[in-house]
Structure 1
């Protein structure tokens, strides 16, 4: 697979000494390389080393290319040296970690969504490093990696041994990744109960208890903070048999997949879950964080292993083909952080050396394990064929080869090399409309075949036996859960995207589909028999549209969701539709900087500081409210040659008595009480900035200051625009 080839070449170019730089420095050793950029050169330093260990270990397991084992062996040897230089087993790249962990150890815990005593999600980073070490142990046989992991976990036990239950819960308000999962895995290897005990302590009651009760606590929560918690519970269920852990994991999966997932299999907008089944107004350039899908696929594997239902791999296939394959830049090794689903958006890929984020790390892993879920087995008597990518399997001496051109073609051939009796279970996908013949050695087998099920063929297989079948792909639409007139178009499992121009070109007008007929087979036609390219016939507005598989769209603007109108509806709605489109285009064209308030990454990007603030959520949006004389400040870009305004998005919180000032660079530009504004809905207010405050400046400091005894408004977003 080309995606794996691109990733493999990139992994070999990565310099382990640069990933190890801060680990050595914080262990008192001289760094051997300059640290990479992005989050590696920040408070989340170190997480990428764990991802890189896992990626190289997976690539070695897949290819047996010794160069990848050499990479992992070297990193492990360096981490051994780091541990030897310290008395406590701690290995980390987190700045000023010793002093801050000393505070935590004493119960002096200051915790928020992504901050623990001034450290950026430190348990998240430690999880990645521990997971990488265990993967190096499992997949490359490096026993020293296990030793490093044990010493590191022992440090974690010592660090938290005196914390009370309340202190633990306070600490776990900060994102902790999959610490429960990796400690449970360490227990399975070592059989030391202390690691299982610590794993159980990484349990966030606020989120996990409702899931065990069959409730949905997800709206307004950071998506990728939650998913690893459930992967950990899934692993604990496999070890302990605790049925409540099983229930929480299954309930979470069902909630996310059935109520929070877009057509491509991804979830979240601006990294957060919105209200269940409310996706119509959640389309933007920041949909579908790639880490989320990486983790949902991990969770899916666990759930399938307990209950092998085809629905699990119907989802897995949808997310893998449409999101994971689309997340890599085929012209380089960059990967996406977000997978934009706003019409006219384009993908942004990370740079190889200067833009390391969480999704850059999971991206390295994603493209070294494309084959890890094609086959599953149940003991030695049943083999599941879950996906249809070309692959070769050696299953205890029985070799199985899968030949296909999937996902571009539905023809599949399995060849068995060996003499063995077993049951072959082949997934009949939910997207197949019509019957499928499964032929064994050229003859149609008498099997029960229906969509979203497994077709069972049990026999004594002999060398050279074949199973052939063709999965017919057809065009169909999938509507938004809250708007039946906004649809995505699919061909089989492939989400199709309309090409709307070059990535650096102007933002296009929003296309719509005008037709009385909702069957896409009647108005979307292939342009050739060899390529999966389609064109609309008469229904596109303002122009006809060319569609291609979403995962093949690179460096172009595109659209995935389209509004459907009848001729009469479009005649009635076109003027209003285009006027709103023009308003949004005008606002975006005048925007110099914008941020969502109450969310981790935008607030970090804009250097937010605050005092006496309340951060909450309403209708899928976070908001920040300074209380009783409280304040917050952000730094935002401006243009010294232009005149500016601030556009504030508020949530109409009728419980408040707001009275506050807005200041720019220390000078008041507005006093506000928000009298007469709407309650329980979002609205915008625009404030003028005197030109004297932005002259000769490329940035401004905006301060929101509540008056004593009063609050400020509930801020959802701030946008700096230039005047017309």
Structure 2
């Protein structure tokens, strides 16, 4: 009894000085409330403003004016802007200008935005039905859709290159011009454009709309939900639900991961829309589905930098081998959209710092890393392949999707640094900045050299003494009990919340100083498939090494359709640096170097060229260079066998690549669209880790024979369990028939076909597969145009 009484007294004594922590859902500050201070983020913002001002609004507007029957004031830009996706960057440009104006207050950006809106208003007025778009031949194509004639594939809708995806950028740009820059005309135009869509699908069944959604359509469901909130009208929320792709949503509701082989960035915006609809009073199961998607992508399908996908597609979770071998690694657009989804989920699911941990990792290691700090050039693919490099955009040549999302990113660097409730301020990210918390009449100044040092300094400046809870994120990369908080030089007692924050509750006075000590250490992250590939991290920062500057072909992209892919020599994987040590010894292989900036020396490397070691630094500081992020690990005994296996696997492929003039990976969205695919009665699929295309009518690609060196076709395709037959044609010349007798299963077959001499001098070869004998064609995995008479053994 005495012991029980003493314990009770102790319990009440301890808890009498513990206040209940506020855990109400947070709200975000306006971008205009947060000003970035000098840092690499601030520099990227400055470079982005210069990039935005280097773009000519009249050239971006040209497709819209043309399609509205008005005279363009300038010629369209090249690249994706005049080959079928005309106008998509114009929509991104609206968003980028609005975000950057909100973040910086730069009135020149606002003037540009207002000019863009006024010209688009002319287009909408000329169209007379609410429509605004640069889709080539859009009037005829949309009329077909309205009549119920719908032919949809991953990148194609009625013969147009992802027109729904294209106009989503216009929807989003108008919305953002209203929300972030207060342009009333944009708001009215947005509602008119949404009414146009309501009319377009008014006679379509739900089944027809779902068929249409097989074509990539961005986040249309999200923007329609936004219009519902802006207007308060239920009809727009119903439209948002109709534009929610059930083929993706339904498995997610059941917590089934069916993402293998799917085009990654087609799916992420759909999920953002599911969450947005749930926020506005939709089915909470949709929000749960969005969380499930986030979990499986973040915790099973992503690499150390936070990005995901190879050649734009989700690969099997148990096989990341293509992530290491391919030069088309994680796509920046994917991470842009994953961060958008993360921002939405964070307040919905308890302000949990796990969302900020992912946001921080991806923001530093992929998003910031995708901006050239000297000129603002933007990156599409970030290869994980050892010893490869990235390609940067140029304002006059490059108009890819990742340029569109890329020019938006720096304008919203401030969006997640802080959050608040009525009683609390959350400090989530350690980016130098000044916050104006108007509701509390309080300024907060955050200063740090993070990650070069492990200290963060906050100065709290209320106009009058003010009590609030200061929630300081306790990062997952800081060991339990290691984080320190000092207030005005004295170590402060803090409460640790269940959602991952150190909470200091007090009345704050002007000039109060808070210091966070965030001890960082070296850790390694193994590739998700369990293979012996590891990334080194210091706190949340992925470390990488420069490995050379030779043959950086196309480092700055030209206007070609595939200019965003790094086409320089692939250094054989057998020559990649290998850390010769047991896996548990990897963290100890790094030695911190002296100096103000973060740097480490990595020793114990093979082959000989690396025996003196390599310097590792934050990956986001490596530019215009080959690099290494993932390091293969082997013991002395394992090393020789590893090298032998890699040489075997790479020998034939490298030989084939060396004589390849052009190639198309069938069934993959970007390679096919880059080769102007045409088809009838055709479908794509995914089997045994390969995409493919087959047809009961025909499909074709335009192969480039730029140097007139193409001499052979190489085809790679599946065998079949039932008879198939297809004629192969080049420029309407028959090269024979491929027949499968139906005795096979999913074995891989290969065939090399000589081109007729009459085609050798032609720079464009139209390759066509035409089904014959009333049978389906083979399932084509890949077609290449080869230059050599001596074909490598395949």
TM-score, structure 1 length as denominator?
0.94
- Following the alignment from structure 1 to structure 2, what is the Cα–Cα distance between the partners of residues 104 and 639? 37
Deviations, residues 666-697 of structure 1 (Å, cap 9, x unaligned): 4454544467997445x462414257255323
- Residues 450, 137 of structure 1: alpha-carbon distance in 2 compared, 3 angstrom cutoff: closer
Residue 514 to residue 347, structure 1, CA distance change in 2 (3 Å) = same
The reply on whether 1:531 has 2:597 as its aligned counterpart is yes
The match for 2:587 among 521, 541, 548 is: 521
Residues 475 and 520 of structure 1 are in contact (CA less than 8 Å); yes or no, is this contact kept in structure 2? no
SS at match of 2:724: coil
Check 1:548–1:578 CA distance in 2 against 1; reply closer, same or farther (3 A cut): farther
Q: How does 1:317-336 map to 2 (within 5 A)?
A: 317-336=360-379
Report the counterpart of residue 420 of structure 1 in structure 2. Answer: 466
Which residue number corresponds to residue 401 of structure 1?
Answer: 445
Q: Quote the residue 1:615 is aligned against.
A: 684
The question of 1:595 aligning with 2:664 is answered yes
Q: Aligned with 1:110: secondary structure?
A: coil
Equivalent of 2:640, from 571, 574, 594?
A: 571
Cross-structure match for 2:59? 18
SS at 1:543's partner residue?
A: helix
In the alignment, the residues of structure 2 paired with residue 257 and residue 678 of structure 1 have an alpha-carbon distance, to the nearest angstrom, of 38
Query: Which of 179, 184, 208 is 2:225 aligned to?
Result: 184
Range 39-48 or range 317-326, more displaced: 39-48
Q: 2:503 aligns with which of 452, 456, 459?
A: 456
Whether the 8 Å contact between 1:432 and 1:471 is mirrored in structure 2 is yes
Deviates more, 1:280-289 or 1:49-58: 280-289
* Alignment map for 1:193-212 (pairs within 5 Å): 193-212=234-253
Q: CA deviation at 1:265?
A: 0.5
Which range is displaced more, 152-161 or 115-124? 115-124
Q: Tell me if structure 2 keeps the 8 A contact 1:645–1:686.
A: no
Deviations 1:317-355 (A, max 9, x none): 111111101111223232112121122221011221222
Deviations 1:448-478 (A, max 9, x none): 5599821111111111112112222222211
- The question of whether the paired residues in 2 share the 8 Å contact of 1:6 and 1:330 is answered with yes
Q: Which moved more, 1:96-105 or 1:583-592?
A: 583-592
Aligned to 1:342, what secondary structure does the other structure show? Answer: coil
Secondary structure of the 1:472 match is: coil
Distance 2:530 2:759 in 1: 43
Q: For the Cα contact (< 8 Å) 2:579–2:604, is it kept in 1?
A: no
SS at match of 2:321: coil
Q: Indicate the residue corresponding to 1:604 in structure 2.
A: 673
Structure-2 residue corresponding to 1:136 = 177
**Contact 1:503-1:555 within 8 A present in 2 as well:** no
Give how far 1:479 is off: 0.9
Distance 1:232 1:99, change over 3 A: same
Distance 1:707-1:542 versus aligned 2 partners, 3 A rule: farther
Distance 1:358 1:499 in 2: 27
CA contact (8 A) 2:87 2:166 kept: yes
Shift of 1:39: 1.8
Residue 256, structure 1, aligned to residue 297, structure 2: yes
Whether contact under 8 Å (1:17, 1:31) holds in the other structure is yes
Q: Which residue of 2 aligns with 1:712?
A: 777
Q: CA 1:668–1:98 in 2, change beyond 3 Å: closer, same or farther?
A: closer
For 2:5, the equivalent position in structure 1 comes to none
Per mean C-alpha deviation after superposition, the further-off stretch among 309-318 and 461-470 is 461-470
Quick one: structure 1 residues 677 and 719, their matched pair in 2 at CA, closer, same or farther if it must change by over 3 Å?
A: farther
> 1:163 aligned to 2:204?
yes
Is the Cα contact below 8 Å between 1:650 and 1:713 reproduced in 2? Answer: yes
- Return the offset for 1:416: 0.6
Q: Which residue of 2 aligns with 1:697?
A: 762
1:386 and 2:428 correspond: yes
Corresponding residue for 1:230? 271
Structure 2 residue 452 is matched with structure 1 residue 411: no
CA distance in 2, matches of 1:707, 1:608: 20
Matches within 5 A, 1:140-151: 140-151=181-192
Work out whether residues 155 and 673 of structure 2, in 8 Å CA contact, stay in contact via their aligned partners in 1. Answer: no
Q: 2 CA distance for matches of 1:472 and 1:494?
A: 13
* Partner-residue secondary structure (3-state), 1:650: strand
Can you list the C-alpha shifts for 1:240-288, whole angstroms capped at 9, x where unaligned?
1521121111111111111211111011111111223432333311121
Give the alignment partner of residue 657 of structure 1, picking from 723, 729, 742. 723
Aligned pairs (5 A) from 1:111-130: 111-130=152-171
Q: Secondary structure at 1:438's aligned position in 2?
A: strand
Paired with 1:88 and 1:699, the residues of 2 have a C-alpha distance of 40
CA contact (8 A) 1:498 1:547 kept: yes
Compare 159-168 and 509-518 and name the one that shifted more: 509-518
How far apart are the structure 1 equivalents of 2:378 and 2:499?
Answer: 31
Q: What is the CA distance between 1:507 and its match in structure 2?
A: 3.9
Partner SS for 1:387:
coil
TM superposition shift of 1:40: 1.8
- Check if 1:555 corresponds to 2:614: no
Q: CA shift at 1:710, angstroms?
A: 3.5
Q: Is the 8 A contact 2:301 2:528 kept in 1?
A: no
Distance 1:638 1:38 in 2: 19
After TM superposition, give the deviation of residue 576 of structure 1 in Å: 3.5
1:631 corresponds, among 669, 678, 698, to 698
* Of 54-63 and 444-453, the range deviating more from structure 2: 444-453
1:690/1:215 Cα in 2 relative to 1: closer, same or farther (>3 Å)? Answer: closer
Higher relative contact order (CA 8 A, sep 6+): 2
Q: 1:44 to 1:574 in 2, by over 3 A?
A: closer
SS at match of 1:254: helix
Is the contact between residue 52 and residue 97 of structure 2 (CA under 8 Å) also seen in structure 1?
A: yes
Aligned mates of 2:608, 2:775 — CA distance in 1: 50
2:491 is aligned to 444
Q: Is the contact between residue 436 and residue 449 of structure 1 (CA under 8 Å) also seen in structure 2? A: no
Q: Is the 8 A contact 1:428 1:451 kept in 2?
A: no
Q: Secondary structure of the residue that 1:717 maps to in structure 2?
A: strand
Structure 1 residue 279 corresponds to structure 2 residue 357? no
**Partner of residue 750, structure 2:** 685
CA distance in 2, matches of 1:319, 1:294: 9
Q: Give yes or no for contact 1:278–1:482 (8 Å, CA) kept in 2.
A: yes
Count matched residues. 719
CA offsets 1:77-101 (integer angstroms, 9 cap, x no match): 2222222223212111112211221
Tell me how far apart the structure 1 counterparts of residues 296 and 151 of structure 2 sit (CA, whole Å): 31
Determine the C-alpha separation between the residues in 2 that align with 1:503 and 1:240. 56
Deviation digits for residues 49-93 of structure 1, max 9, x if unmatched? 221111111111111111111111111122222222232121111
Deviations 1:407-441 (A, max 9, x none): 33332111110132111111111122461111111
| Superposed displacement of residue 656, structure 1 | 3.4
Structure 1 counterpart SS, 2:322: coil
Q: Distance in 1 between matches of 2:771 and 2:157?
A: 26
- Tell me the equivalent position of 2:340: 298
Q: 1:595 to 1:343 in 2, by over 3 A?
A: farther
CA distance in structure 1 between the partners assigned to 2:135 and 2:148 by the alignment: 20
Match of 1:266 among 307, 311, 322: 307
